[in-house]
Amino acid sequence: MQKLFFIFLISFQSFPQQSTISKAVNYLSGFIASGHFTELKKDDSNLALVDSIYYKALEFYDYDYSEALLSLTFTTIPYREVPIVIPIINSILYYPLVSSDDSTFISKNKNLPGILFYDSPDNDFGDKDKLAHFFGNAYISYAENIFDLAGAFGYFVEAFEEDFKVQSKIDIRDLDVNSYGRIFGEFLEENKKVLPSEVMLIRSFRYSIFTQ
């Protein structure tokens, strides 16, 4: 599984739109790291902040939804590089991801919305890492044309996080969020007005219905 995830990363680096993605990631990271966004955090809910980031990505790409979702995926990853184990020699290569400069990256991570669901951890980090899961699966679900790439992508991320000890074991909540990302991508194909917050709320609503 980790080999497939590594291939996904390598393949992305060869995409012709990489330079545009880099510009988008810098632009969106700058927005999230800005004082304006910090002020928004004082008044808006975390889900409203997710929508504001989403709108910024759409504006940057002149409402190219596929490109916007891809840029959001890389913007919201709270890590700058991923450890890749090289077979046979068992060495670790730290593979860089598309990201902004150091100071912007740190401020962006600090400002990323983290309280997204009813069961989001009540701490400073919360569910910030779930945003990349959500938008990554939404991107592939929206852009897919041959088979369930979104489902595969979600499992690649989980295998990567388990094997490379970004977390100690596969997170069932990550897989759950992956599925809602796919739902968002599917909804967008039918209705461009749907927002990330609306799909994220479905997860909490379903929980409240089942626990009543």
Residue ranges per structural domain of the chain: 2-210
φ, ψ of residue 75 to 5 degrees: the values are -65, -40
Burial (Cβ within 10 Å: 0-12, 13-18, ≥19) of residue 124: exposed
pLDDT digits (tens, 9 = 90+) for 7-21: 444 445 545 555 788
For residue 23, name the pLDDT band (cuts at 50, 70, 90): very high
Query: Which pTM value belongs to this model?
Result: 0.80
For the chain, the 3-state helix, strand and coil shares in percent, each to the nearest 5, are 65, 5, 30
**Number of helices followed by number of strands (H, E) in the chain:** 10, 2
- What's the mean pLDDT in 36-63? 95
